[in-house]
Amino acid sequence: MEVRQTVEIRVRGTVQGVGFRPTVWRLACDEGLVGEVFNDGFGVLIRTTGNSGAISQFLTRLHSEAPPLSQIENVETQVLNLQDFEDFRIAESVSGENCTRVTPDAAVCAACRAEVLDPSERRYAYPFANCTHCGPRFSIVKEVPYDRINTTMADFPMCASCHREYLQPADRRFHAQPIACPVCGPTIWLEEECPTNFSLSPGFDKLKLVGHQALDSAIELLKNGAVVAIRGLGGFHLACDATNPEAVQRLRRRKHRYGKPFALMARDLNVIRRYCNLTPAEEDLLQSPEAPIVLLSANGTEKLPTGIAPGLSTVGFMLPYTPLHLLITRQIDRPLVMTSGNISDEPQVTRLDNARSGLREIADAMLMHDREIANRIDDSVVRIVAGRPSVMRRARGYAPSAVPLPGGFADAPDLLAFGGELKATFCVVKDGAAILSQHQGDLEDVSTFEDYQKNLQLYSKIYDHRPNLLVADMHPEYLSAKLAKQRAAAENLPLLEVQHHHAHIASCMLENGIALDASPVLGIAIDGLGFGDDGTIWGGEFLLADYRGYRRVGAFKPVPMVGGVQAIREPWRNTYAHLKAGIGWDKFVERFSTLALHRYLSTKPLPTINRMLETGLNVPLASSCGRLFDAVAAALGLCADQAIFEGQGAMELEALAESWRPSAADSPYDFAITGSELLYLDPLPMWKGLLEDLAEQAAVPRMAGRFHYGLAKGIREMVARIRATVTTDFSLDTVALSGGCFQNKILLEELVRLLEADGLRCLLHAKVPTNDGGLALGQAAIAAARHIESSNPAQVARASCAWFTGGTPVPQARH
């Protein structure tokens, strides 16, 4: 029976600054409801009166028709005394706007796209059109609340037309803070920093061009092979014609970037399809509001110059995600290189003056605009792995959206986790939400570390965050950990140091919504290096773990890293160390002296290295999966002398393995399992197989394939052995996979297939990187878990549970 009633509806999640209230208004009017909607400190509050049927219909539609950028986490409804309203209205916000929800930047929406391409619209060809469903957000925020005055759009007072749209609930620009048009908004211009040899059509003024002329001239330059710096959404890009090998080489030379692949932008899917056969999942991802760089197999009919992604079989493509990029690419029928505008490993340039000083040697011209970038944010990088998106670099479009904390974490303290060293991020926990920062870069670069510190301050301001607990990696030399120590001392805050691979596993558990008091999982963390709790270097770990602690039950067999970090730069060192530690150098020479590998290694300073190994000087033991990949890649002649970036050899090895599949006639290499207390995954049988193959001059792709599938098989056998021999008081049926080596698609997909065949549930990363970019989230989870436990005596009994070794309760945080 229909009853007229008044209800109060509380909506939590990402519901502010995303066009939520106008949607509520529209749906309420549609359903004939009266009442009001407004923002407050907890999200959106709705009070409405109407027939119960209409209200329930309204609630259903609120979920199914929520605006694209919103994320509803929770809706609570409560019946009030009957109230009368004249109509349905959008009321003033109540102070204390929710500041743990800053929306990520979103790619230009279909409506804005159509508008800038329609000559009859007033925003025709306007590079800064946006609305409540799209456009800049995080990249322009300086302070909260998210109002125009607190963004870099404060410099552009709205014109009368924009203001009308801003005030009209039925308009899709209702309360769109970055609203702009050609009359009142930002503008573009072109600067030519050095006299160029690239001819422009007659009529172009060579010095400073504005508006359409600037755009047309930049396009002309790009078509003629020039390098153009383009100020985008979260920073500068360097662009050139990706199909022009000379232009690509010129850009590499000037940028001093020799090994790493370049990202590309193409105007639409049809252009990308010439180079890559797209799957439906890849198409969806390319066209999503996050619009990331998607790593694709370069298996199309047309080929790109080898200078785009040297040695790799993948290429990173994105679609234009701002009207500016749309207006540039739509006139160019081929992909453009769109690589971050920086010098070698420094952070992407965001400011005009830094571009003029830093990029003038690289770019022939610069397409500038005057909307300042408050927060540098790189393009995100995503790959479809095991059938779903896996974020490898989490930045534009993804950060800083909050990662919901699973059950049991409601009392998490306000804390700050400092992350790792490479691909660094940090994590803020506040009001029960975890906010993982955007990708910062490698902190060993001085300017990246400065930028990381600047961003820590910025987040503290944006989120009004004053942590009462700090968390860092155990590694004594990580700059992030040193900074955390200094800050803990200066502000008299408790600091918790967390083991690297435990943080990887906790990050994976948290992302998968595993509750605080769930049974432990078997974590498999494989990566380059992390500091172990026994003082050695870890990087191939099997941990029984929950959020609070872990027990190391297995590892890759440790091998010396000859020369420490030198072994990362010169992969042949790992090959030598593996051969010497496994088969033994003398045996290798006896049996395989005719191999090119033997001749090659003999040219190296082996006596010096042997002395280092004898004296134990600068040869730390490492149970690292990354170094095993380096050793195998170098044995096959990939990046043997020098790796330009960590993991280069592994990426090239993966590219070669793509065409190989195991068969009855051709099986993967074997790995052995040795040890008793601590089980070791021992690669010795694999090396024997590989050397035999080398002696028989087997094809390199076959050896690369046998290694990949062999490693997956070896890890599966290790898991089976652990389940058979380690006694636990819980059922070990869940495996969490984390660490940078799981960026390897072949390894991850094969391992998941094998483990699922054994009846195991596999937890994988999706929106949080499996590499060190996810560490900060895991650190936050571990610190929160230990804090909750230490402040709840009822649960302390569990902490001393016999099988744990890794968990010490957190020092009591101050309130």
Binding site for Zn ion (CB under 5 A): 109, 112, 131, 133-134, 159, 162, 181, 183-184
Positive/negative CA dihedral, 277, 280, 281, 286: positive
For residue 128, give the DSSP letter: T
State the minimum distance, in angstroms, from the CB of residue 792 to Zn ion.
47
State the minimum distance, in angstroms, from the CB of residue 111 to Zn ion.
5
Positive/negative CA dihedral, 713, 719, 724, 730: negative
With contact defined as beta carbons under 8 Å apart, do 11 and 34 qualify? no
Separation between Cα atoms, residue 351 and residue 332, nearest integer Å? 27
Of the pair 26, 254, the CB lying nearest Zn ion is at 26
Of the pair 184, 726, the CB lying nearest Zn ion is at 184
Q: Which SS3 state, helix, strand or coil, does residue 807 take?
A: coil
Q: Provide CB contacts within 8 A for 584, sequence distance 6+.
A: none
Q: Which residues, in sequence order, are bridge partners of residue 38? A: 45
Q: Provide CB contacts within 8 A for 611, sequence distance 6+.
A: none
Of the pair 74, 161, the CB lying nearest Zn ion is at 161
Of the pair 184, 732, the CB lying nearest Zn ion is at 184
Q: Which SS3 state, helix, strand or coil, does residue 779 take?
A: helix
Of the pair 173, 257, the CB lying nearest Zn ion is at 173
Separation between Cα atoms, residue 595 and residue 588, nearest integer Å? 10
State the minimum distance, in angstroms, from the CB of residue 173 to Zn ion.
8
State the minimum distance, in angstroms, from the CB of residue 485 to Zn ion.
45
> Quick one: which of 329, 222, 312 has its CA closest to 270?
329
Of the pair 136, 539, the CB lying nearest Zn ion is at 136
Six-digit token pair at 449?
């570390």
Amino acid at 542: F
Cα 291 to Cα 146, 382, 602: the distances in Å are 23, 10, 49
Of the pair 109, 402, the CB lying nearest Zn ion is at 109
> Quick one: which of 173, 180, 127, 113 has its CA closest to 151?
180
Of the pair 68, 811, the CB lying nearest Zn ion is at 68
State the minimum distance, in angstroms, from the CB of residue 176 to Zn ion.
8
With contact defined as beta carbons under 8 Å apart, do 275 and 305 qualify? no
With contact defined as beta carbons under 8 Å apart, do 141 and 462 qualify? yes
Q: Measure the CA dihedral 226/227/232/234, to 10°.
A: 170
Of the pair 131, 218, the CB lying nearest Zn ion is at 131
Separation between Cα atoms, residue 749 and residue 715, nearest integer Å? 13
State the minimum distance, in angstroms, from the CB of residue 112 to Zn ion.
3
State the minimum distance, in angstroms, from the CB of residue 393 to Zn ion.
25
State the minimum distance, in angstroms, from the CB of residue 185 to Zn ion.
6
Separation between Cα atoms, residue 420 and residue 775, nearest integer Å? 6
Of the pair 131, 327, the CB lying nearest Zn ion is at 131
State the minimum distance, in angstroms, from the CB of residue 109 to Zn ion.
3
Q: Provide CB contacts within 8 A for 491, sequence distance 6+.
A: none
State the minimum distance, in angstroms, from the CB of residue 68 to Zn ion.
9
Q: Which SS3 state, helix, strand or coil, does residue 619 take?
A: coil
State the minimum distance, in angstroms, from the CB of residue 190 to Zn ion.
23
Q: Provide CB contacts within 8 A for 207, sequence distance 6+.
A: 192
Of the pair 165, 473, the CB lying nearest Zn ion is at 165
